[in-house]
Amino acid sequence: MYNSKITGLGYYVPDNVVTNDDLSKVMDTDDAWIQERTGIQERRHVVKGEGDTTTTMGVKAAKIAIERAGIDKDDIDFIVFATLSPDYYFPGPGVLVQRDLGIKTVGALDVRNQCSGFVYGISVADQYIKSGMYKNILVIGSELHSHGLDMSTRGRGVSVIFGDGAGAAVLSREEDTNKGILSTHLHSEGQHAEELSLIAPGMGKRWVTDILEDADPNDESYFPYMNGQFVFKNAVVRFSEVIMEGLNKNKLSPTDIDLLVPHQANLRISQFIQKKFGLGDNQVFNNIMKYGNTTAASIPIALTEAWESGKVNSGDLVVLAAFGSGFTWGSAIIKW
């Protein structure tokens, strides 16, 4: 039995900064309203026509992660790509990354678990490596939200939250089973699926042909919907549960955590969890203020920034935790 270890990290965000004041020019909102509810000050949006897509952003992040891992792209045995915003309805972006990086014909798996997608991807990669099937796996989380948001007052409750970007990690075989990813923990509760969702286009409700036929400018089925208060209440409970599940599995306690990297959904959620676990400001890494919620990309972007700033060091206990649409949630307990 092996463990898997994160050997390389990288991220990419578009250059285009969209501040809260910028949004106030296209919808009825303001900086104070957004910061009070979310903690977000700005986010990045791609500029149409400049070439950034979910896949290309993922490729840019992946190239950095592969270089930092000290391996060649042809050492990658498998690709896991987590996103809710693929370039195409099908095929998924995993194969597009394989093509664009010029990697040999390895397997490519797409993960559709939204905000918890990267943690799910890490868990899948970890199991493949633990079993001995693969040695180096590329895991990407990438999102392009801005093209699909309702940038009007009608959509402000959702649209002010989300940003674009990508993060990537290379997981490699680790012989020392006391280091690397110690355990991962995954859950779902589909009875709340519609509380955070984008219904159309979809075969079961409204497909593209229906939308085109109706040509209804007031049709909101193709914009994201979120029952914010309900999602918040569930998130703080599930975050706590899945973090403790991971700690208990490894006979650890909150005092053992060197760094918690939560999914960047809402700064208020992170602050609630920080207070509940008695963690100091130096033990929780947040960057939602700069990037907003980048869904599957949020944890790898934050983890990369934390590592780059020297907040992740050899021997540290690092905890990743996420909650989002589905509902799905998960955690990863890592001995760096």
Local confidence pLDDT in tens for the 336 residues of the chain: 799 999 999 999 999 999 999 999 999 999 999 999 999 999 999 999 999 999 999 999 999 999 999 999 999 999 999 999 999 999 999 999 999 999 999 999 999 999 999 999 999 999 999 999 999 999 999 999 999 999 999 999 999 999 999 999 999 999 988 999 999 999 999 999 999 998 878 777 677 777 778 888 887 877 888 898 999 899 999 999 999 999 999 999 999 999 999 999 999 999 999 999 999 999 999 999 999 999 999 999 999 999 999 999 999 999 999 999 999 999 999 999
For residues 84 and 123, membership in a common domain is answered with yes
Claim to verify: residue 156 and residue 300 sit in the same structural domain: no
Which domain does 35 fall in, by range? 3-177
| pLDDT the model gives residue 213 | 80
* pLDDT at site 32: 97
Q: What's the Rg (C-alpha) of the chain?
A: 19
Q: How many residues does the chain have?
A: 336
Q: Are 287 and 309 in contact (CB under 8 A)?
A: no
Sign of CA dihedral 66, 71, 73, 78: negative
What pLDDT score was predicted for residue 85?
Answer: 96
* Total number of domains constituting the chain: 2
Q: What is the pLDDT of residue 83?
A: 98
* 154: its two tokens: 């009608």
Confirm if 18 and 43 have CB atoms less than 8 A apart: yes
239 and 272 in a single domain? The answer is: yes
Q: How many CB atoms lie within 10 A of CB 240?
A: 15
Domain end call among 177, 212, 247: 177
Active site residues: 115, 263, 293
The reply to whether 186 and 107 lie within a common domain is no
> Do 230 and 287 fall into the same domain?
yes
Same domain, 190 and 326: yes
Is the same domain home to 153 and 191?
A: no
- Residue 137 and residue 9 in one domain: yes
Q: Give the number of other CB atoms < 10 A from CB of residue 247.
A: 21
22 and 86 assigned to the same domain: yes
Which pLDDT belongs to residue 230? 93
User: Are residues 277 and 229 part of one domain?
Assistant: yes
| Positions of E strands within 175-279 | 180-188, 196-197, 225-226, 259-262
Which residue among 177, 207, 239 closes a domain?
177
Claim to verify: residue 247 and residue 325 sit in the same structural domain? yes
What is the domain-level CATH number for residue 140? 3.40.47.10
Domain boundary among 150, 177, 204: 177
Cα–Cα distance for residue pair 66/7, rounded to 1 Å? 9
Q: Which amino acid is at 23?
A: L
Same domain? For 221 and 302 the reply is: yes
- Which pLDDT belongs to residue 31? 97
